[in-house]
Structure 1
Amino acid sequence: MAWVARAPGLPPLDPEARALLDRLTPMAAPAGTVLFHPGDTVKGFVVMLSGRVDVYLTGASGRELLLYAVEPGQSCVQSTLGLMGGDDYSGEAITRTACELVLVPRDTFLRLMDLSDAFRHFVFAAFAQRLQSMMHLLDRVAFQRIETRLAQCLLDRAAGGTLHATHAEIAVMIGSAREVVSRRLDALARRGIVTVERGMVRILDPETLADIAQSTD
C-alpha cells in the first residue's frame, strides 16, 4: 500500500497532489535519532506515519523544556514556521520511539500549498492545533505550581501506575529543574502518594495525586 493511503490525518487528495507525494519515500529513524538542531535550516514538512518525536527548547542556562511531541496526524510547528517564514529551527527534535516518517521537501511543500485546498487545510488545521497546545504549555509553565504540573505529568505519562523516567527527564517534561523535581518527589513519597526508585516513579495514591493536579491554590 502506498504510504499516502495509510498516513493518519492526511485527507483525500486530488490526483496531481497525490502524485507529488507518491514520489517520496518513507524513512525509518530509530529511537534517539536527532532530526534537527537549533540553527539548522528547515528542509521540509514532516508527515509522521508511526512513532513519536519530541521537540525541545534549550535555554541559555542549559535547561531544557519539552515544547511538544509529534505523533501521526500531528505537525511540527517549527517546521511549518520555517517553511512559510524562512526561519531556522530554534529547537531540537529527537525521536522518542522508532519512527517512520516522510520528509516533504520545501519546493514540493510550497507547490502543494498552492495546488491543493485539501493539503493546505490539513497543514493549517494541524498548525492551529499545535499552537493551541503550546498556549496550554505556556499557561502551565507560567501560572501553575510545580506540584500541580508534576502531579499531572505523573498521571498523564505513567503506564500501569509507573513512570519510567529520571528526575532530569521529568524536569524537562514540566519545565523545571532537576533539583526542584527531586525535592517535590521526595515530599510526595513522604506522604505515601508515590514511591521513588532509580529511573522510576510508582504511583501509590492516584486519587490524592489527581487532587493535587487539579489544585489551583
Structure 2
Amino acid sequence: MTSAKRLQKNYPVIDELSPAARSRLLDAARWMEVPADTLLFDDHQSCEGFPFVIEGSVRVAKCAPNGRELPLYRVTPGETCIISSSCLLGNEDYNARGITEADTLLMLLPKQVFDELLAEPAFRGFVFNLFAERIADLMQLIEEVAFHRLDQRLATLLLGKGRILHTTHQHLADELGSVREFVSRLLKGFSAQGLVKLSREQIEILNPAGLRRIASGADNRSP
C-alpha cells in the first residue's frame, strides 16, 4: 500500500474533501521518515505545517527549565496534534516539545495549504472536532495533576498493562510529570505492601486489587 493510500485509510476525512481540495492536499504533501527519539519540534520554534501520523507515534510534552517534563498527549495514526493546530491557527510558535517514540512516518501539510483547506467544511470539522477531543483530554490531565495524589496516579499508571511491566522508574516519572526519586519511594512502598515486585527495569503486579484501591483514593494514607 502506498503512503498516500495509508494516509487516506488513517484519515478518512481526505475522501470527504472535494476532488480539487483532495488533489491540492496530496500534491502539497511532504513525506517524512523520522527515527525514534527524534525531536520534531521544541519550544519557541515556528510551526511549518500540519502533521498527519501514518505510522509510529509522537509524544508531546511541556518541559520545565530544570529538565522536568509533563507529558500532555500522544499523536498516533489517525490523530492530530493540538499544539500544531493552535500554532497554525494563531500564527504562534510552538510552546511544547514533540518527540517520536518509534520510527515514524509523517505527512506534513504546509501552512498555506492548511489555511486553504479550512475553507472546506469537512476538513474544518475534522480539525476542530479533534481539537475539542484534545482539550477534553488535557482537562482530565489537569484534574489528575491538581486533585489526585501522586500515589493514586502511579497506581493508575501501573494498572491495565498486564502482569509484567518492562519500564524504568525514570520513565514512569516522566509519564507522571514527577521526578524519579518520588516515584522510586512510592514503588518501594508498594513493594513493602506486597502490591508489586521490583526488578531491574521490570515491575511485576502482585496485587492489582490493592493498586485499584489506591488508585480510587480508598486508601487515604498520604504518599
Which stretch shows the higher mean deviation, 202-211 or 187-196?
Answer: 202-211
CA RMSD of aligned residues (A): 1.6
Given the alignment, which residue of 202, 205, 210 partners 1:203? 205
Q: Distance in 2 between matches of 1:60 and 1:9?
A: 40
Do the aligned partners of 2:30 and 2:109 also contact (CA within 8 Å) in 1?
A: no
- CA apart distance, 1:84: 0.5
Identity rate, percent: 38
- CA apart distance, 1:190: 0.8
Q: Distance in 2 between matches of 1:208 and 1:87?
A: 46
1:101-112 map, 5 Å: 101-112=106-117
1:1-217 map, 5 Å: 1=2, 2-3=4-5, 4-10=7-13, 12-23=16-27, 24-114=29-119, 116-156=120-160, 158=161, 160-215=162-217, 217=220
TM-score by length of 1: 0.92
- Structure 1 residues 35, 147: CA separation in 2 closer, same or farther (over 3 Å shift)? same
Q: Distance in 2 between matches of 1:102 and 1:54?
A: 16
Q: Distance in 2 between matches of 1:107 and 1:211?
A: 51
TM-score by length of 2: 0.90
- CA apart distance, 1:25: 4.2
- Residue identity opposite 1:205 in structure 2: N
Do the aligned partners of 2:173 and 2:179 also contact (CA within 8 Å) in 1?
A: yes
SS at match of 2:134: helix
Q: Distance in 1 between matches of 2:164 and 2:110?
A: 40
Unmatched 5+ stretches in structure 2: none
Do the aligned partners of 1:10 and 1:73 also contact (CA within 8 Å) in 2?
A: no
Which stretch shows the higher mean deviation, 173-182 or 197-206?
Answer: 197-206
Do the aligned partners of 1:9 and 1:72 also contact (CA within 8 Å) in 2?
A: no
Do the aligned partners of 1:52 and 1:99 also contact (CA within 8 Å) in 2?
A: yes
SS at match of 1:41: coil
Q: Deviations over 1:104-134 (max 9, x none)?
A: 11001001012x1101100001111011100
Unmatched 5+ stretches in structure 1: none
Count of residue correspondences: 214
Do the aligned partners of 1:45 and 1:105 also contact (CA within 8 Å) in 2?
A: yes
- Residue identity opposite 1:78 in structure 2: I
